[in-house]
Structure 1
Amino acid sequence: MNVGIGLPIGDPATLLDWARRADAGPFSTLGLLDRLVFDNPEPLIALAVLAGATSRVRVQTEVLLAPLRDTALLAKQAATLDRMTGGRLVLGLGIGGREDDHQVAGVPVSSRGRRLDEQLTVMRRIWAGEPYGDEVGPIGPAPGRPGGPEVLFGGFKPVALERVARCGDGFLAAAPPSWAGGLFDTVRTFWKEYGRDGEPRIVAQVNAALGPQDVVDDARARMHAYYTFTGMADRMVAGMLTTPSEIRDAIAAFTDLGADEVMLYCYGLDPAQVDRLADVL
Structure 2
Amino acid sequence: MPLGLALPQYGRFADPALTVRIAAAAETLGYDRLWTADRLLVANAPRTPYPGGNGAVPESHRTFLDPLTLLTAAAGATSRARLGTSTLNAPWYPPALLARTLTTIDLLSNGRLDVGFGLGWSEDEYGAVGVPWRGRAARLEETLDVLEAFWTGGADVRHTGALWTVPPSTVLARPAQRPRPPVLLGGVSPAALERVGRRADGWLGVGLPLPALRPLWERVRDSARAAGRDPGALRLVLRVNPVVTAGPAPEGDVPQRGTVAQIADYLASAVRELGAEPLIDLHHAARSPEEFLSLAREFRDALALPPSPTLAPTPTTGLNPPPQPDRSS
1:26-175 pair list within 5 angstroms: 26-37=30-41, 38-128=62-152, 129=154, 130-133=156-159, 135-175=167-207
Partner residue, 2:269: 253
Q: Secondary structure at the match of 1:189?
A: helix
Match of residue 57 from structure 2: none
Deviations 1:151-187 (A, max 9, x none): 0000000111111122211101013223111111100
Tell me the equivalent position of 2:214: 181
Query: Equivalent residue for 1:262?
Result: 278
Question: CA offsets, 1:137-161, max 9 Å, x none?
Answer: 1334200111221000000001111
One-letter amino acid of the counterpart of residue 271, structure 2 = T
In the TM superposition, what is the alpha-carbon distance from 1:132 to its structure 2 partner? 3.0
Residues of 2 paired with 1:30 and 1:49: CA distance?
A: 12
8 Å CA contact 1:204–1:259 kept in 2: the answer is no
Secondary structure (helix, strand or coil) at the match of 1:148 reads coil
CA RMSD of aligned residues (A): 2.2
Q: What's the CA shift for 1:238?
A: 7.8
Identity of aligned residues (%): 32
Structure 1 unmatched ranges of 5 or more: 214-235
The separation in 2 between residues aligned to 1:188 and 1:244, in whole angstroms, is 30
Q: Which residue of 2 aligns with 1:3?
A: 3
CA distance in 1, matches of 2:204, 2:214: 12
Residue deviations 1:19-43 (CA, integer Å, cap 9, x gap): 1111101211011110111421111
Alpha-carbon shift at residue 201 of structure 1 (Å):
1.0
> In structure 2, what residue type is equivalent to 1:201?
R
Q: Indicate yes or no: 2:24 matched with 1:23.
A: no
Q: 249, 267, 274: which one pairs with 2:296?
A: 274
Quote the Cα distance in structure 1 between the aligned partners of 2:107 and 2:167: 26
The number of residue pairs the alignment matches comes to 259
The match for 1:191 is 224
Q: Which has the higher helix share?
A: 1
- Of stretches 268-277 and 67-76 in structure 1, the one that deviates more from structure 2 is 268-277
Q: Distance in 1 between matches of 2:87 and 2:272?
A: 24
Structure-1 separation of matches of 2:25 and 2:243: 16
SS in 1 for 2:173: coil
Please state how far the C-alpha of 1:46 moved relative to its aligned partner.
Answer: 0.6
One-letter amino acid of the counterpart of residue 39, structure 2? R
Structure 2 stretches lacking a partner, 5+ long: 42-61, 160-165, 304-329
Residue identity in the other structure for 2:157 = P
